[in-house]
Amino acid sequence: MSSLKELKTQLRGEALGRRDALDPAWRIEAALQVADRGAPALSFSPGTIISGFLPIRSEIDLRPLMARLAERGARLCLPVVLDRETIVFRELVRGAEMVSTGFGTSGPGPEAAVLDPEIMLMPLAAFDRRGHRLGYGAGHYDRAIDRLHQRGLKPHLIGIAFDCQEVERVPNEPHDVMLAEILTEQGLRRFAAAG
């Protein structure tokens, strides 16, 4: 029997392989579907701080959705890798210079305000129908969520993925934080068990 780590590595590789195989032109259409279906489905008040992300590799492109959320009054931020262990969320404002922020990503520079997201749109490698996510293995989001929880903050967690990244079951451990929702090109799904 393989170890939990080996099983996660296998599931991650299979799900990312399916994602990588998606036609690039279709991925553009899927990003527009995520914006069309996700923007009206997400409930928040103007001024709510929402973290998104810019796509790397074959990730879904959230820029259409983030633009729609900004039009509804969201205050946007992006993750920035400070070191191998820590990410913070810097405010994304129109016209601000974007800089390299680690792991092939770009985002607002050090002059941008650091914000605490109330809603986190999270990239992932795989997810299951229970609301468990499998990240890329570095643990950046897990540590960021833990730091927010230690300060008494409970961000609403929404995974962002293509439908093809769903797996039968993500192996989970007691410390794993479940997603409240997942947004794919097919729409927003809520997970009752996430609380």
137 is in an annotated binding site: yes
> How many CB atoms neighbour CB 195 within 10 A?
8
105 is in an annotated binding site: no
22 is in an annotated binding site: no
8 is in an annotated binding site: yes
152 is in an annotated binding site: no
CA atoms of 55 and 161, how far apart (whole Å): 11
Phi, psi of 180 (to 5 degrees): -80, -35
187 is in an annotated binding site: no
132 is in an annotated binding site: no
118 is in an annotated binding site: no
141 is in an annotated binding site: yes
Tell me, what amino acid is at 177? V
9 is in an annotated binding site: yes
189 is in an annotated binding site: no
The token pair that represents 176 in the structure block: 């794993």
92 is in an annotated binding site: no
139 is in an annotated binding site: yes
The token pair that represents 180 in the structure block: 């409240």
CA atoms of 92 and 98, how far apart (whole Å): 9
In the annotated binding site for ATP, the residues are 8-12, 133-141
In the annotated binding site for substrate, the residues are 54, 59
In the annotated binding site, the residues are 8-12, 54, 59, 133-141
